[in-house]
Structure 1
Amino acid sequence: MHNPTQKHHRKDPISRRHISWCCSFSDPTRSPENPKPISKQPISSYPNSPKPPSLRNRILSPGRVSPVDPVGQQPKTHVMPVELEMPRLPLEPVSVCKGGEDGFGVFDVRLSLKGRNGGSVVLELSSEVLSGSSCVFADLIAKYRAGCEGGGGSFCRIEVPEVENLSVFQMTIELMFEEDLIKRLMKIGVYRAIDVLEVSAGISFKKGITSCLEYLEAVPWSEDEEEKLKTLFSKFKLNNSISKDILARLYPLDSADSQQTLANQLIWSITTCIDANSRNELKSLVKGLLCKSSVYEKGYPDVNKEEVYAVCRSCIDALVNLFEDASGSDQCGRSGKNEGGKTLIECISMQVDNINWLLEILLDWQMAEDFVTIWVNQGELLCMHERTSPMVRYELSRVSAMLFIVMGTRKLQCASEARLGLLDAWFGPMLLDFGWLQRCKKGLDIKVLEEAMGHLLLTLPLKHQYTLFMEWFRCFSRHGTECPNLSKSFQIWWRRSFLRGSESNAVESR
């Protein structure tokens, strides 16, 4: 009978009404509040409690909680090995004892769960429900009854040692007595449902397996839950149509080549995106995915260098065409609009953004050396730079600025010929465009650019440093702050070229 004071047992009257099992440890301690043993306590257990000394004795009772026989009157027992595919929750030796002749009824199995880290739970269950739910327990009970006197009326005791999570194992056993398993799983959530699925698979609880799979397939997962599912499916092979749907969510069916092709398609799509806000958002997204340090990089194929450079050349070709149009426009780059309603200035800025974004990807994968050579050889753009409005041409110096920064801050190493070629081609245009770069920074750090330009100049042979530093000196004397301030680097060049030179001559004269 239900105890009316235990209100928590009334929460689910439909599912609990027909449950024919209970849990107990031993005879409860008598007290004024508890004058005699309670005969029935449905759905109750005592997890993580130490085993009372009295449990080493034989338990005989017509009720759910039994008085203890005197010490020394132990029943005959046998030990049966159990083979169970459950790495963390093994059913090892099982001891069974005969008893329960005094009206024990359907509660004819005592299941003792022993925690790996201490604690225990004892469940008294119906062999009919237990056998009908799990073929592992059905085999244990059948073997016991076949080897015991008294046949099917005998009381069976099963011990499960080394249980990693007592509450999960107990919850899985409870589900055998539930009418609506999905409803119960919805209450416990995905993470715990995966634990229940693992126990169900270990004890061959087919209804539990099916219900867990149905629930997990229908709900979203977090990344931690996804990794937990992958670990579970690596341990157990669940031949179920629902498990195939879950595996289809866990593992891509396409090959690595298909993933690489998709990455290339994303890059091409972004460089042709019209809306500026969407393009910037997608650039950040894809760059994060393709970044070598990304959490999503695990096992993914490398970025295809040829494909990225093909996109770079396409953007540069588009830039050349746009500058040809700008050269014949109203010198402000505003005349005419393309199919997307963008002006020449907007289109040029978009292509420069694309080129710098691709350069960032190449830098991350240490494949940007060839881009320096490509940019050095843009003679057509250099010619058009001279005859194009400053408010348009300064966009070209945004690409040069990025190269100066990554080379001057040691993020990109190139041969002396490449460094010299870059400065010979684009140092002069940079001096002319610096004022516009200051006014239209677009994320550019001017101080970093000035320092990087000076450091890069100092990597050249001294005679080339002389030519470029003198060009800067003349420009700075005429335009002042409209020109980059390379004073610190100029001083270093002066000391290296003249002061140290005089010292070396003095040494030679001696």
Structure 2
Amino acid sequence: MAPEPNAAAGARRIEVDGVDNVAAFRDAVELMFQADAPRWLAKAGVSRAIAVLEVASSIMFDKGIRSCLEYIEAVPWNENEEEKLKHLFARCTFDEALSKDVLARLQTQPSSSSEDLTGQLIQSVTSSTNNSARKDMQSLINGLLSKSSVYQKDLSGLNKRSLYQICCSCLNLLVELFKQDSEPKCGTDQALKIRHNKPMIERVSKQSENLSWLFEILVNNDMAENFVVLWAGQDDLIRMHEQASPMFRYELSRISAGVFIALGQGKVQCPSDLRSQLFRGWFTPMLTDFGWLQRCSKGLDARALEDSLGQALLTLPLREQQSLFEEWFQCFASRGAECPNLSRAFQFFPVYALLDSQSQQ
């Protein structure tokens, strides 16, 4: 440490060899002369305390190390501060007795525990009986699983099997609800069932939202193809859709909308026969329910659905494209805006090539 004259100011400047963060070094020196170190650190904040801790470690300022660790352990951190601490503990070694409480908040769980925790959190969300709380928890989980989150590397080990078990549970509940709706609405048992349960619309909506949310998680983690298999094979739901009230049957098409959008935007790749099965089962319900989906959008982008539905349809074999476009044409001609507008996709349908092939047969 050597003083140098400052000609411009007539003062002296102090240079500290081997110290990159001079401000933190100055704070560490200031902390040495503080009678109430906890109060000083509380005013300084976590980020400055971390910087002082690093300096205190390098100059073996034991009292400063203890004070910083005690303060840091006792206060909450933001994501950036937690990352700074992780980097610091990777570079520096601290007395175990002093640092164990901070380390207990930093240490990453084994991957299997992380997978179990994530699955339990998602299960808790889908089981929630409070709509507002469920939406808040969904946003929280989405943030934790986001690739931009510093926690993503700890919670990204999603267990595919656990996720699909939750999907199947929600799907089974949805099937049971539609079966209940198809039962006669009379008798003591049915009256008790209605009295002690929430309205059918609310219960169906909950499971629809759960499945749409789970599908979004699966898409974001490249695990969604099996969901398409599950949804395309729901013959019972497809059959019951025709008989159910339009006030809640459109919730099934809300799930289909998410699948069609993912397919049309290329976020999920499926074999041709699976795409065909999906369209055979859920295209007609989509045409039927599109008006309801527009009126009760719940965040669904109808224009994106129209574009993606058309794009996905164009990936099918020509014969199937023809059949589906004919069905859409009749629906659109009679219902107009109550039917999805696939005219943009229809412009790319090679109708003349198909007519030529028919004439040659």
How would you bin the TM-score normalised by the shorter chain? 0.7 to 0.9
- Measured in 1, the distance between the counterparts of 2:33 and 2:347 equals 86
Q: Please point out which of 143, 146, 163 is paired with 1:288.
A: 143
Deviation at 1:119, TM superposition (A): 3.6
Q: Please point out which of 84, 90, 95 is paired with 1:234.
A: 90
- Aligned counterpart, 2:222: 366
- Measured in 2, the distance between the counterparts of 1:211 and 1:483 equals 68
User: Secondary structure at the residue paired with 1:50?
Assistant: strand
- Aligned counterpart, 1:492: 348
- Measured in 2, the distance between the counterparts of 1:163 and 1:207 equals 20
Q: 1:325 to 1:164 in 2, by over 3 A?
A: same
Per-residue Cα deviation, 1:11-46 (whole angstroms, up to 9, x for no partner): xxxxxxxxxxxxxxxxxxxxxxxxxxxxxxxxxxxx
Q: 1:317 to 1:186 in 2, by over 3 A?
A: closer
For the 8 Å contact 2:111–2:157, the answer to whether it is kept is no
For the 8 Å contact 1:337–1:343, the answer to whether it is kept is no
Q: CA RMSD in A?
A: 3.1
- Measured in 2, the distance between the counterparts of 1:214 and 1:294 equals 27
- Measured in 2, the distance between the counterparts of 1:312 and 1:217 equals 39
Q: Please point out which of 254, 259, 262 is paired with 2:114.
A: 259
Query: What amino acid is the match of 2:110?
Result: S
Query: What amino acid is the match of 1:161?
Result: D
Where do 1:35-434 residues align within 5 Å?
Answer: 50-51=4-5, 119-120=13-14, 161-173=17-29, 175-252=31-108, 254-328=109-183, 341-434=197-290
Q: 1:339 to 1:212 in 2, by over 3 A?
A: farther
Deviation at 1:279, TM superposition (A): 0.6
For the 8 Å contact 1:292–1:364, the answer to whether it is kept is no
Per-residue Cα deviation, 1:433-467 (whole angstroms, up to 9, x for no partner): 22222222222222222222222222222211121
Deviation at 1:274, TM superposition (A): 0.8
- Measured in 2, the distance between the counterparts of 1:306 and 1:379 equals 23
Q: 1:501 to 1:168 in 2, by over 3 A?
A: same
- Measured in 2, the distance between the counterparts of 1:397 and 1:365 equals 23
Q: TM-score, normalised by structure 2?
A: 0.86
Per-residue Cα deviation, 1:202-226 (whole angstroms, up to 9, x for no partner): 2323223222322333333333333
- Measured in 2, the distance between the counterparts of 1:290 and 1:472 equals 38
- Measured in 2, the distance between the counterparts of 1:335 and 1:475 equals 38
- Measured in 1, the distance between the counterparts of 2:158 and 2:174 equals 24
Per-residue Cα deviation, 1:319-361 (whole angstroms, up to 9, x for no partner): 1100011112569xx9876687511111001101111100001
For the 8 Å contact 1:409–1:452, the answer to whether it is kept is yes
Deviation at 1:175, TM superposition (A): 4.5
The structure with the largest helix share of the pair is 2
- Aligned counterpart, 2:302: 446
For the 8 Å contact 1:271–1:354, the answer to whether it is kept is yes
**Gap runs ≥5 in structure 1:** 1-46, 54-117, 122-159
Q: 1:119 to 1:317 in 2, by over 3 A?
A: same
For the 8 Å contact 2:253–2:286, the answer to whether it is kept is yes
Deviation at 1:283, TM superposition (A): 0.9
Deviation at 1:187, TM superposition (A): 4.1
Q: 1:403 to 1:175 in 2, by over 3 A?
A: closer
- Aligned counterpart, 2:327: 471
- Measured in 2, the distance between the counterparts of 1:404 and 1:52 equals 70
User: 465-474 vs 170-179, which deviates more?
Assistant: 170-179
- Measured in 1, the distance between the counterparts of 2:144 and 2:303 equals 30
**Aligned residue pairs: how many?**
353
- Measured in 2, the distance between the counterparts of 1:475 and 1:430 equals 11
Percentage of pairs with the same residue:
48
**Gap runs ≥5 in structure 2:** none
Deviation at 1:378, TM superposition (A): 0.9
For the 8 Å contact 2:25–2:52, the answer to whether it is kept is yes
- Aligned counterpart, 1:36: none
- Measured in 2, the distance between the counterparts of 1:408 and 1:168 equals 54
Q: Specify which structure has the bigger relative contact order, considering alpha-carbon pairs within 8 angstroms and separated by 6 or more residues.
A: 2
2:338 aligned with 1:482: yes
- Measured in 2, the distance between the counterparts of 1:402 and 1:170 equals 56
Per-residue Cα deviation, 1:399-453 (whole angstroms, up to 9, x for no partner): 1122112112222221110111111111112222222222222222222222222
For the 8 Å contact 1:264–1:308, the answer to whether it is kept is yes
Per-residue Cα deviation, 1:166-207 (whole angstroms, up to 9, x for no partner): 454455445445544334434443333333333332232322
For the 8 Å contact 1:256–1:301, the answer to whether it is kept is no
- Measured in 2, the distance between the counterparts of 1:446 and 1:335 equals 38
User: Secondary structure at the residue paired with 1:492?
Assistant: coil
- Measured in 1, the distance between the counterparts of 2:79 and 2:258 equals 36
- Aligned counterpart, 1:69: none
